[in-house]
Every structure is written in structure tokens, then in C-alpha cells.
Structure 1
Amino acid sequence: MADYKLEAAKAAFKFIKTGQTIGLGAGTTVLHLANMIGQDVDLARSVVLVSSSFKTNSYLQEQGLNVKSASAVKHLDIYFDGCDQFDQQLNALKSGGGIHTTEKILASMAAEFILIGDDTKFVPRLNTTYPLVIEILPQALQIVLAKLRSAAYPDAEIKLRMGDQKDGTVISDNGNLLADIRFDHTPQWQQLNIDVKMIPGIVEHSLFYGMATKAIIAGENGIRFITPEQ
């Protein structure tokens, strides 16, 4: 059986040039891409790598690659990352890892933000299969929950993420709380992008609206390069 994530990584690798500063997110496809960079002597020596993921960052360091903290750079040539789901306009939900705040910071630094992965991630329009994840300042928890439930999205189900191997909530890399919001019907994503971010105490949410410039996906029909419809 073909490894579509590997095929997508191979296609993405062709976009990287020597001397660039490259951002990498999380996931299997990204790790394939990191391997390819490490195996290319010229690239490995010349590129600077920045990652939003603790796991990816650790892997890059183990490979002896030139890794910098996000706080040490202000521009990326390309940021590559996967997602849970994206649509024809390249609006994406990145709900799994809970590191969307750092991912958005890197995506906003990049001249190009390219989604990579297998073609099961593509849908004509985003739907409610995956939750919207919000990162919340701990001191704002109750007011954030109250505003979401009473005003913005009263029919939504909101649950704090709880640890499987510890007693208590999951804490983000930034020391904040994470909550999943599940909608009973598909929201207006453009308006949601604004409404949720405007609630004081919410640091970020996992909808990447209008941020990606290209998607590279692989499947039974080969490699597809998708750009937002005009």
C-alpha cells in the first residue's frame, strides 16, 4: 500500500531551497520532510529550521540540524504543516495537538504557508467532524465559558481537555487551558474566526481561516496542488 504522507512530503521537499528559513509543524508527513532535509547535505548545512512542535523540534535537534526558537526569527520562507481538515479555500482546522497558537505564529511569519498530507484531509467545505479548540487563560475560564454559552454559541458543547495520564486538565505549552467546542450545526466560519478571538481570555483558536497559500496532498490519483479559489 502506498504511503501517501511520504509522497506528499516528497512533493513538498521540492519547494525548499538552500539558505532558506523553514518552519515545520507536527505529524508524520512533517517528520518525513524533516528526514529528507537531513539527508540532503547542502540543505542540512544551509537551512534554518523552526518548529511549532516539541516532538518535531526534538527530532530536528537529534538529527544535528540548525534549529532556532520561534522567538529568534521574524520571517520564514515557508511554513509546512498538516491539519485535521481543510476546504477548497484552504481554511483549515488543526484541532489534534493543541499547539495551534504557536502554529499560527509561525504561519503568520511565513511568505508561504503550505498544508501537506494525504487527501483524506480535503473536504469541499469545513464541517463539524472535528472540534474547534480554544486556548484559555486560566484566570478567564469561567467568563470565557459563560460568554460562549450565553451569547456566541449557546447550543455548542464545550469541554475542557482532561489528561489521560494525570489528574486534571491538559495544560498547553504556554501554560494555559485547552477546551474543545463541538457544534450541532456548521457555523459561519468567517464570523466564528472573529467572534471567538474577540472574547477576552481566549488566546487563540484552532481555525486557520484564510492563512494557507497552498496545499500539497497525495492519494490514489497522485499528487494534487491546491490553491484557494478566487
Structure 2
Amino acid sequence: MKIAVLGATGQTGQYLVSQALQSGHEVTAIVRNPGKITEKHESLKVVEADVFSADSLKAHFQDQDAVVSCLGFPISFFYGVTGYTQSMSALVGAMRDAEVSQLIVMTSWYTEPNSGAQSPFLIRNLLLPMIRSVLSNMYEMETALQTIQDINWTVVRPPGLKNLPATEKEFMTHEGYSVPDAIGNSVGRGDVARFMLSLLHSNAWLKRGVAIHTK
């Protein structure tokens, strides 16, 4: 397949690009700084674009089979985070113009404001308040996607991320904001990338959000 990847220079994005190329996909990595891409492959095209501009993105979405987003935006303690909603508005507009219908996007566990009520004490009282500005904007983006009918989107929600390569572990999935009975609060970025790529060939989670973990 031909896939456009956003957030390709991030830690999860790097794993995703590498795995996609190894699986035989043709990858267009859309980045702000092409110099940060160290991967070299005959099936990899690296382009520069503004993720907040549909006009900037649409030329790179032409002839793609899917768009995969690993975009991430930093915590803001003083100003609201808006990167997720603003970039998604541009993505959707560009996908429509380029007639691309499949979108896979990564967010996180606990984006819904009340979903962490039963999480462990330190997560509930320390981590979630600290990253709430990011989670809130992710949730706004997820909510906006739920109103879109002409794009086959899937939201992938991993827990905390470790910079580890993919394994062969079985995935645990749940249509919600966390995975009940999951042991541990983190998963390897390589496994997140592996799950996201598996959705290119599956209709199991179309127009739904899925929380994931590994066994």
C-alpha cells in the first residue's frame, strides 16, 4: 500500500516508518525537518509540509491509500493545547481534496475527562492532571472525528509509551479509554506501530476508538 505518515520523526513514527518499509509499503514521510529522517529506502519519500495547512498537505496525499498520524504536541501549563484539533482539521480537508478515505491516528488512554477515575493513585492524582492539557485536546479531536462520515478513521489509544522495538506479543484491545485488567501502564512504541499498521488490512475498528495493550 501507499501510506502517508505524519509525525515520522517522532519516536513512534520512526518505528512505524521502518516497519512499514519492511512490510513492503511505499511510505511518504511528511515532516517539518527532512534532515531528521535517517531512514534510507527506495520505497521511502521524505517531503516537507505544514501539518496545519490542508493546502500544504494535499499534494502529498495524492494517490495515497491511507494516512497514518503519529503526531504529538507538548504539554502546555499556561495555554491550551490545540495542535491535535488544528492538525486534524487540515488532515481531513487535505484527505477529502486528495480523495483518500482511510485514516489511522494515535492518541492515548484516558483522553475522556472521567475515564481515569479508577486508574492507579499516582496516575489519577499526579500524571493525568499534569498532562490534562494534551489529553483534553486529544479528546476534542476524537470527538470531532466521530462526526465524520466520509473518512474511515480509527483512533488508537496506547497507555504510557516505552522506547522499545516491536515484539510478537498478543494485543489486548478494548473499545474505550483504557484496557481493563491490563498489567502495567506502558507498552513499547514498536508494538503501537505494529498495531497501527495492522489496521491497514482490517475493518475491525473502522470509525471507532480502540485502547490497546500487550499481554
> When the two structures are superposed, what TM-score results if normalisation uses the length of structure 2?
0.39
Higher relative contact order (CA closer than 8 Å, sequence separation 6+): 1
